[in-house]
Structure 1
Amino acid sequence: MSKIIAVMANDVEDIEYTSPAKALTDAGNEVTLVGANANEKLTGKHGTEFTTDKGIDDIKADDYDALLIPGGFSPDNLRSDDRFVELAKKFMLTDKAVFSICHGPQLLMQTGLVKGRTLTSYETVQTDLYYAGGIVKDEPVVIDRHLITSRTPDDLDAFNKAIVNELA
């Protein structure tokens, strides 16, 4: 069993958290929802209400095997908080598994570590990734070592399969 941190703020793309989290837990993994504070109520873009399991200050990257960054406007909110940027940076620098979909790579760009990495994202973020030095592909799933990225909710089946296989 692997332990995964899912980071979230308000306005997450609901299904980009719920679908991967279900696929990961159905495969026997443990997903911990982390926000700015423990037991924080967050609302997705489509009205789903979420309650965080832990706050960012309550966790250590070393205790987890993977990082999940769902999209929507959540990653843009998270990247203004240095604690989430540092968490993502730790996962990237230690080459641990990072799963990022849609606008999720906005948080990864903030780490300064996408240069030379091959990845994808929602179409409007792809240009930003390119200017940050990423090698951008417009494909449902892009795998670069332990970094797995995807574009939209339409790609969730392929994304979920790839992230579950990464932890198998």
Structure 2
Amino acid sequence: MAKVATVVTNLVEDVEYTEPVKALRDAGHEVVTVEKTAGGEVKGKHGTKIQVDKSIDDVKVDDFDALLIPGGFSPDQLRADERFVNFAKAFMDAKKPVFAICHGPQLLITAKTLDGRHATGYKSIQVDMENAGVNFQDKEVVVCENQLVTSRTPDDIPAFNREIVNLLK
């Protein structure tokens, strides 16, 4: 089974973390939560407390099979930290599976890894994605090159979860 890193910080969209993590774990995969410091917790926009497993300083891409980037305000904060940008870029460069929902693609925009890709995201980042070279598709889930899975909003979580679990089979 796969080992999946998920990068989060405070104000992550709760269900965009909890639901995909549950789907991945239910499918037998290991999910490791990565933030700036290990051992603490972050709080979602709606109050969910999320335990942090590892510090970004203590992980490397080779330790994982895939990356999950939940939305909310978390990805916008994370993209201001070069360590998270480089971590996300390394997954894309290595052609490892990357799953980003809602505002999650913001981290990939900053990593400059979306040029020429088919993807979707929350409507407020559509222009940013198009400026980054994305062929933006307003669909509940977009799978690009059997590597990148993106969705728009919490309403799309069932389709997002289906595709991320299918991609790791």
Give the TM-score normalised by structure 1.
Answer: 0.99
Tell me if 1:111 matches 2:129.
Answer: no
State the SS of the aligned residue for 1:130: helix
State the partner residue of 2:161. Answer: 160
Q: Aligned runs of 1:67-146 on 2, under 5 Å?
A: 67-145=67-145, 146=147
State the partner residue of 1:148. Answer: 149
Separation in 2, partners of 1:116, 1:96: 17
State the SS of the aligned residue for 1:86: helix
State the one-letter code of the partner of 2:104. Answer: G
Question: Per-residue deviation at 1:113?
Answer: 1.4
State the SS of the aligned residue for 1:140: coil
Separation in 2, partners of 1:89, 1:160: 22
Separation in 1, partners of 2:4, 2:46: 24
Question: Per-residue deviation at 1:39?
Answer: 1.1
State the SS of the aligned residue for 1:45: coil
Question: Per-residue deviation at 1:40?
Answer: 2.1
Q: How many positions carry a matched residue from both structures?
A: 168
Give the TM-score normalised by structure 2.
Answer: 0.98
State the one-letter code of the partner of 1:122. Answer: Y
Question: Per-residue deviation at 1:126?
Answer: 1.0
Structure 1: where are the runs of 5+ without partners? none
Separation in 1, partners of 2:74, 2:64: 21
Tell me if 1:18 matches 2:18.
Answer: yes
Question: Per-residue deviation at 1:132?
Answer: 1.1
For residues 115-134 of structure 1, the C-alpha deviation after alignment (integer angstroms, 9 at most, x for no partner) is 10110000001111001111
Question: Per-residue deviation at 1:147?
Answer: 0.3
Structure 2: where are the runs of 5+ without partners? none
Separation in 2, partners of 1:113, 1:47: 31
State the SS of the aligned residue for 1:23: helix
Separation in 2, partners of 1:40, 1:89: 25
State the SS of the aligned residue for 1:80: coil
State the one-letter code of the partner of 1:30. Answer: E
State the partner residue of 1:61. Answer: 61
State the partner residue of 2:50. Answer: 50
